[in-house]
């Protein structure tokens, strides 16, 4: 059993980095998903929606602006945007060029200006200036897909009608072995079947936060991960060794 002996001595070998082909991944069960969430909740109690907002209108606009952009960058432009356009009615009548000037640094600023002005017009025309409270109505707003709708319904109203799947949720859920797909719609459906509805909003917060702080796309800190023992990712041992080496260098 050379493979087992290597592992017992803690050596990082090819055998410990890559499990033998065909080795089953741990089952994606509601119990395992629940345990993962319990541990992430304990490790990251501060995980929250990182987009600054004071109401549902501000959150829907900020979430549209966050496409292909960091939340930090969005948080830099929204104070000025909402100073100039504090309500859907004021944004609905704004000139595109004036809005573009404010949001330019978030990228894709022309398309985003079109989306947020169009969204504001629809809020005024179809919803009396309020952000609607259902997935169906939300996803009819210009620039709003299921991900944005889930974020807004969850964080502005506490309504769980979906699980927002961004790049972090997609990566972390796949590595953990809770899902096996690169399609956000499939991943959302699978997560919704594994996780009880009363945890859907926190699921997004926790997986995003964990993806940013620990389970980085290129350099995951597997050696410091609170759900290491529940993770199905075949490269976690190798990355755990990297984490220990980086830790030793820091000391
Ligand atoms: S063990 Fe590594 S890959 Fe798995 S969730 Fe933790 S950081 Fe991500």
Contacts of 131 (CB under 8 A, 6+ apart): 56, 57, 59, 60, 123, 138, 152, 156
What are the tokens at 110?
């022309």
Residue 226, pLDDT > 90, answer yes
Work out the average pLDDT over 105-115. 98
Percent of the chain with pLDDT over 70: 87
Q: What is the pLDDT of residues 156-207, one digit of tens each?
A: 999 999 999 999 999 999 999 999 999 999 999 999 999 999 999 999 999 9
pLDDT at 247: 64
- For position 17, what pLDDT does the model report? 40
Across the range 101-120, mean pLDDT stands at 98
Indicate the pLDDT class of residue 241, thresholds 50, 70 and 90.
confident
- Residue ranges of domains in the chain: 56-157
Percent of the chain beyond pLDDT 90? 85
CATH number of 56-157: 1.10.340.30
CA neighbor of 114 nearest in space, from 128, 130, 99: 99
| Given 7, 71, 121, 166, the catalytic residue | 166
250 pLDDT band (50/70/90 cuts)?
Answer: low
DSSP label at residue 140: T
Burial code (b: 16+ CB inside 10 Å, e: under 16) for 149-158 equals bbbbbbbbee
Q: Whose CA is nearest to atom 4 of ligand 1?
A: 231
Which tens digit of pLDDT belongs to each residue from 14-38? 333 444 455 667 889 999 999 999 9
Say what the pLDDT of residue 11 is.
Answer: 38
Cα 156 from chain centroid (whole Å): 16
Q: Which has the minimum average pLDDT: 55-69, 95-109, 166-180, 235-249?
A: 235-249
The answer to whether residue 98 scores a pLDDT higher than 50 is yes
Confidence of residue 249 (pLDDT cuts 50, 70, 90): low
C-alpha of residue 172 to centroid of ligand 1, in Å: 7
Going by alpha carbons, the residue nearest to atom 2 of ligand 1 is: 222
User: Looking at the whole model, is its pTM more than 0.75?
Assistant: yes
The sign of the CA dihedral 78, 83, 86, 89 is negative
pLDDT of 7 > 60? The answer is no
53 three-state secondary structure:
coil
pLDDT at 26: 83
If one residue of 239, 241, 243, 246 were mutated to test the ligand 1 pocket, choosing by the most ligand atoms within 8 A of its CB, it would be 239
The yes-or-no verdict on residue 46 having pLDDT over 90 is yes
Q: What is the pLDDT of residue 242?
A: 82
pLDDT at residue 22 in the model: 54
Whether 147 sits among the annotated catalytic residues: the reply is: yes
């Amino acid at each position: 059993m050379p493979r087992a002996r290597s592992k017992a001595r803690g050596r990082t070998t090819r055998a410990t980095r890559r499990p033998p082909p065909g080795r089953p991944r741990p089952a994606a069960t509601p119990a395992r998903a629940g345990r993962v969430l319990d541990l992430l909740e304990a490790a990251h109690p501060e995980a929250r929606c990182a987009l600054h907002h004071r109401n549902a209108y501000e959150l829907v606009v900020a979430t549209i602006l966050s496409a292909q952009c960091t939340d930090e960058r969005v948080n830099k432009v929204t104070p000025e945007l909402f100073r100039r356009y504090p309500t859907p009615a004021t944004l609905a009548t704004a000139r595109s060029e004036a809005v573009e000037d404010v949001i330019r640094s978030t990228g894709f600023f022309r398309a985003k200006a079109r989306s947020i002005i169009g969204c504001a017009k629809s809020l005024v025309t179809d919803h009396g200036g309020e952000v609607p409270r259902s997935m169906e109505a939300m996803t009819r707003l210009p620039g709003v897909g299921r991900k944005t709708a889930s974020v807004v319904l969850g964080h502005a109203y506490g309504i769980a009608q979906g699980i927002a799947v961004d790049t972090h949720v997609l990566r972390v859920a796949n590595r953990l072995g809770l899902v096996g797909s690169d399609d956000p719609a499939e991943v959302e459906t699978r997560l919704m079947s594994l996780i009880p509805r009363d945890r859907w909003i926190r699921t997004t917060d926790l997986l995003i936060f964990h993806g940013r702080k620990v389970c980085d796309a290129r350099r995951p800190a597997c050696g410091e991960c609170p759900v290491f023992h529940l993770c199905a990712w075949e490269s976690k041992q190798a990355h755990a060794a990297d984490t220990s080496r980086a830790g030793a260098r820091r000391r």
